[in-house]
Structure 1
Amino acid sequence: MPTISKKGNQMPESPIRKLVPYAEDAKKRGVKVYHLNIGQPDIKTPQVALDAVKNNNIETLSYARSEGSEEYRVKLSKYYKNNNINVTEDNIIVTTGGSEALFFTMGSIADADDEIIIPEPFYANYNGFATASGVTVVPVISNIDDNFALPKIEDFEKLITKKTKAILICNPGNPTGYLYSKEEIQKLKEIVLKHDLFLIADEVYREFAYDGLEHTSVLSLEGLEQNAIIVDSVSKRYSMCGARIGCIVSKNKDFIKTAVKFAQARLSPPTYALIASEAALETPQSYFDDVKAEYVERRNTLIAELEKIEGVKVAKPKGAFYCVAQLPVKDTDAFAQWLLEDFNMNNETVMVAPASGFYSTPGEGKNQIRMAYVLNKKDLIKSVEILKEALKVYKE
């Protein structure tokens, strides 16, 4: 019988999606499932983006340019300049989602067995992209007790070897919602320049910074022109997860030249999604102001309700729309599956993402979950009520 590759066997399951079959079975039994497991916003997509696809007069749906149309990249560069990121269209490659942007980035900067240091917990698919690229993830652990702030620079320095090629951060963070300060980004700048490394920043949640805080991009700091790489996406910014349009942004010409070859190998990003994404750039600031205000209210609601549960510790996010909660259980993988298979309260249950999948260090995060506050406040309150009752029953 033909065998599966070692790489295939080593590919990790998504902690966000692996419980989907159990959720589907629960729904077939008539149980309502509140989805706190996935960052799929319920916010409406800007109408201007939907209309651009609906009202276009394309007669032949042809390939797009491998790096994305020049018109879109020119408009993107203007968007970035408005966010204190001074780049041109030649510094941008459009990708099929932020996922492909990460995959192209790893393929362009690292060879098999090279290392990338990532503060953990981190976006679960970083593990998958690294495995597919033959890259080794070297975790540096952040802690829920200080809201998952940047680990000490000494902790990074201890991990740097001849194989280290980059430090990768998500800012604001998924799954933690932590927003790195300008001072923390400055510290990362100093260490990557000292050791001649790339600094990759996943900035897909740039618009979602709360409490009067501002987002600091790695490409807004002088001196990082040859080291900084931004990974970005329209998915969360415009509630367009299904468009699958992202991009890489860098002033390093050799990196961009290399990444273009990966872009050419997969031909092009999807044409209709490019049309929608280009139109989305016309979205007024009022849209983002309203969305941000809504997420702040949802965050405050979720955190307040979670803090009422005895034995639960929760980090307060300053950005994105996730939080990590520590539960009084030993194994949240088992608990999350039990919620869907064996528990309901008045025929309702919740679906959460076990946090162990957001770590690469074995054994870390086993008593934590990630929750996405992408539901309305009423549903968030109900979800926490269900979680509170579930913890009582599970403990018994």
Structure 2
Amino acid sequence: MPIISDKGRKMPESPIRKLVPYAEDAKKRGINVFHLNIGQPDIKTPQVALDAVKNNTLEILEYSRSEGSEEYRTKLAKYYAGRDINVDPKEIIITTGGSEALMFSMGSITDTDDEIIIPEPFYANYNGFATASGVKVVPVVSKIDNNFALPPIEDFEKLITPKTKAILICNPGNPTGYMYSKEEIKKLASIVRKHDLFLIADEVYREFAYDGAEHYSILQEEGLENNAIVIDSVSKRYSMCGARIGCLITRNKEVINTALKFAQARLSPPSFALIASEAALETPQSYFDEVIEEYVERRDLLISELHKIEGVTVAKPQGAFYCIAKLPVKNTDEFAQWLLEEFELNGETVMVAPAAGFYSTPGIGYDQVRIAYVLKKENLVKAVTILKEALKKYNA
């Protein structure tokens, strides 16, 4: 019998999606499932983006350019300029979601068995992208006890080897909601310059910064022209996850030229989604102001309710729309599955993402879950109430 690849066997399951069959079975039994597991906003997509697709007059759905249309990249560069990030349209490659931008980045700067240092916990799919690229993830552990603050710079330098090619951060962070300060970005910039590494920043949650915090992009840092690679996406910013449009941005011409070859190999990003994404750039600031206000209220409510549950520890997010909560259970994979298979409260249950999959260090995160506060406030209260009662029964 033919066998699958070693790479395929090592490819990790998504902690966000692997429990979907159990959730679907629960729904078939008539159980209402509150989805706290996935970052799918319930915020309405800007009407201007929907109308652009609905009212277009295309007669042939042609290939787009591999790097995305010049019109869109020009408008995108203008969007960044409005946020004190000055880039040329030629320094942007449009991708099929931020995921493809990450794959293009790893493909462009790493070879098999090269290493990328990543503060953990981190976006779970980084493990998958690294496996697909034959790259080794070298973790720097941040801890819930200090709100997942950036580990000391010395911790990074101890891990740098001849195989190290980059440091990868998510800012604001998924799954922690941690926001890197300007000072922390400068420290990371100093390291990559000193050791001649790339600094990759996943900045898809840039707009979601709370409590007066301001997002500082690595592209705003002088002297990183050859080191900085930014990953971005329309998915969260405009609540357009299904559009699958992202981008890779770098001033390093060699990286751009190399990533473009990967882009040409997959032909082009999806045309209708490009139309929607270009139109979304016309979204007024008032849209973001309202969205941020809503997420701050949801965050504060969620944290307050979680603090009422005995034995639960939760870090307060400074951005994005996730938090990591430590639960009084030994294995949240088993607990999350039990929630869907065996527990309900008045015909309802919750779905969470077990956090072990957001780490690469073995044995860490098994008592933690990631919660996405993308539900309306009344549903968040219901979901936490269900979680509280579930923990009582599970630990009885």
So what's the TM-score if we normalise by structure 1? 1.00
Question: Which residue number corresponds to residue 308 of structure 1?
Answer: 308
Shift of 1:131: 0.3
The amino acid across from 2:189 in the alignment is K
Question: Which residue number corresponds to residue 278 of structure 2?
Answer: 278
The amino acid across from 1:291 in the alignment is V
The amino acid across from 1:333 in the alignment is D
Question: Which residue number corresponds to residue 100 of structure 2?
Answer: 100
Q: Distance in 2 between matches of 1:109 and 1:195?
A: 15
Question: Which residue number corresponds to residue 339 of structure 1?
Answer: 339
The amino acid across from 1:316 in the alignment is K
SS in structure 1 opposite 2:363? Answer: coil
Question: Which residue number corresponds to residue 368 of structure 1?
Answer: 368
1:64-112 superposed Cα distances (whole Å, 9 cap, x missing partner):
0000000000000001111111101010000000000000000000000
Q: Distance in 2 between matches of 1:80 and 1:135?
A: 30
Q: Distance in 2 between matches of 1:64 and 1:353?
A: 36
Q: Distance in 1 between matches of 2:138 and 2:260?
A: 27
Q: Distance in 2 between matches of 1:237 and 1:389?
A: 34
Question: Which residue number corresponds to residue 79 of structure 2?
Answer: 79
Q: Distance in 2 between matches of 1:49 and 1:126?
A: 29
The amino acid across from 1:7 in the alignment is K
Q: Distance in 1 between matches of 2:84 and 2:368?
A: 36
1:17-58 superposed Cα distances (whole Å, 9 cap, x missing partner):
000000000000111100000000000000000000000000
Question: Which residue number corresponds to residue 122 of structure 1?
Answer: 122
Q: Distance in 1 between matches of 2:361 and 2:188?
A: 22
Q: Distance in 2 between matches of 1:108 and 1:37?
A: 31
Q: For 1:127-142, what aligned pairs fall within 5 Å after superposition?
A: 127-142=127-142
Shift of 1:184: 0.5
Q: For 1:227-242, what aligned pairs fall within 5 Å after superposition?
A: 227-242=227-242
The amino acid across from 1:104 in the alignment is F
The amino acid across from 2:268 in the alignment is S
Note if 1:13 corresponds to 2:17.
no
The amino acid across from 1:273 in the alignment is A
Shift of 1:252: 0.3
1:293-332 superposed Cα distances (whole Å, 9 cap, x missing partner):
0000000000000000010000000000000000000000
Q: For 1:1-396, what aligned pairs fall within 5 Å after superposition?
A: 1-396=1-396
Q: Distance in 1 between matches of 2:381 and 2:211?
A: 22
Shift of 1:187: 0.5
The amino acid across from 1:53 in the alignment is V
Q: Distance in 2 between matches of 1:182 and 1:81?
A: 18
Q: Distance in 2 between matches of 1:166 and 1:256?
A: 16
1:139-170 superposed Cα distances (whole Å, 9 cap, x missing partner):
00000011101111011011000000000000
Q: Distance in 2 between matches of 1:48 and 1:264?
A: 29
* Gap regions ≥5 residues in structure 2: none
The amino acid across from 1:49 in the alignment is A
SS in structure 1 opposite 2:200? Answer: strand
CA RMSD of aligned residues (A): 0.3
> What count of residue pairs does the alignment treat as equivalent?
396
Q: Distance in 1 between matches of 2:33 and 2:125?
A: 24
Q: Distance in 1 between matches of 2:85 and 2:252?
A: 14
Q: Distance in 1 between matches of 2:43 and 2:321?
A: 12
Q: Distance in 2 between matches of 1:225 and 1:293?
A: 34
* Gap regions ≥5 residues in structure 1: none
SS in structure 2 opposite 1:41? Answer: coil
So what's the TM-score if we normalise by structure 2? 1.00
The amino acid across from 1:209 in the alignment is A
Q: Distance in 1 between matches of 2:217 and 2:84?
A: 8
Identity among equivalent pairs (%) = 78
